[in-house]
Amino acid sequence: MGLDFCKRTKENCEKELDPDNDPHWSYGGFDRFRRHIAKSIGIDLDVMLGFGGDRSWENKNPVEMLLNHSDCDGELSSKECEEIAPELEKIILTWKEESKEEEYDITVGLLLVAAMRECVREGADLIFC
């Protein structure tokens, strides 16, 4: 159980996932991933709306669309993916592999960037399933 990402239609979420090519996190792991992203851009998620706080999202960085998104359903449009992917990649490439969790987040985060870029090329939405 956890969060998978797939392209095009929700029916794709029913396919058997290829762990080498499809991004997947446990819900706790995705929370850790988002917190690492937020910290990298100077955001404390605990004070933000949707994470227990009351601070509104400023949308200064495109990755805020990923941070301020449901972790269990919904989608990002190909346009949103186009905005998020390069910024997310820049952030991930600054991280160090200091633990198994960080190594996983870097590897799977880059798979997520690749999936976003594929959605852009195909004009498809990225589905959270």
Query: Comparing 64 with 118, which gets the higher pLDDT?
Result: 64
71 CB contacts (<8 Å, ≥6 apart)? 3, 27, 30, 31, 34, 128
Mean pLDDT (the chain) is 87
Q: Give the model confidence (pLDDT) of 4-51 as tens digits.
A: 777 664 455 544 445 567 788 999 999 999 999 999 999 999 999 999
Q: Give the model confidence (pLDDT) of 76-96 as tens digits.
A: 999 999 999 999 999 999 998
Could you give the CA distance from residue 43 to residue 57 in angstroms, rounded to a whole number? 10
Q: pTM for this structure? A: 0.88
